[in-house]
Amino acid sequence: MIQLQDQLDEITASTRHLVQAERLAVGERAIAELFASGIEERILPVGALAPEFALKDSRGKLVRSADLLALGPLVIKFFRGRWCPYCITELEAWRDLYGRLRECGALLVAIGPQTERQSDFMVGQHGFPFPVLTDRECAVAEQFRLAYTVPEYHRDYFLSILVNLPFINGEPSWRLPLPATYVVARDGRIILAEAHADFRVRPEPEEGLTAVFAACGR
């Protein structure tokens, strides 16, 4: 089986081949500053109670975390947007493993700041069987201590590659979440928490599955 990180590393290698060094340096600076901020150390940790949320899915239906946890353990995937190839690749990996999650009664939701319309495009294009929820201005991501504001100098780079976050997210804050994986047991306790300031690094889905199976008593 091809590891997720190997696939992500291929995206990185391709980007470094295609993009000018001075433009790559802008992103590297942003990653370094985000890491130096200590945000990784402040994320909501294992053992904490997961904040409850009620967010709309890609069709406008309200999805409540309490209702999902009543059915089984919950995997929560925070992602940046459908414009991010790393996020899409990771969510596709979870899509392919979704049947194994459901075998033990677990569920998965993906949460990002993009509009419901953007999520509807994404679900249709990639065939995601799980809800994709809109977290306006990263309000829920903030509760998980994952949210940050894209610095001014990095906004220009985003706009230059046609990633207009105010348009994509339907509001002007330029807020994004760290890509993150949480597994929450039915009692609301977090049993896995992982997020990286470097968006090119993601945990293997098998790590999440292991936590889910433990919560299911398997």
pLDDT in tens, 103-144: 989 999 999 999 999 999 999 999 999 999 999 999 999 999
CATH number at residue 167: 3.40.30.10
pLDDT band at 175 (very low <50, low <70, confident <90, very high): very high
Answer for the pair 27, 157: CB distance below 8 angstroms, yes or no.
yes
Q: Can you tell me the mean pLDDT for 155-167? A: 94
pLDDT mean across residues, the chain: 95
Q: Can you tell me the mean pLDDT for 155-170? A: 95
pTM of the entire predicted model? 0.95
Q: 152 pLDDT exceeds 70?
A: yes
Domain residue limits at 57: 4-215
**Which ranges of the chain would DSSP assign to H, the alpha helix?**
4-18, 21-36, 39-42, 65-69, 85-103, 116-126, 139-143, 152-160, 165-169, 205-215
Contacts of 98 (CB under 8 A, 6+ apart): 108, 129, 130
Q: 218 pLDDT exceeds 80?
A: no
pLDDT tens-digit profile of 29-42? 999 999 999 999 99
pLDDT for 1 equals 62
Domain count, the chain: 1
Q: Can you tell me the mean pLDDT for 70-83? A: 97
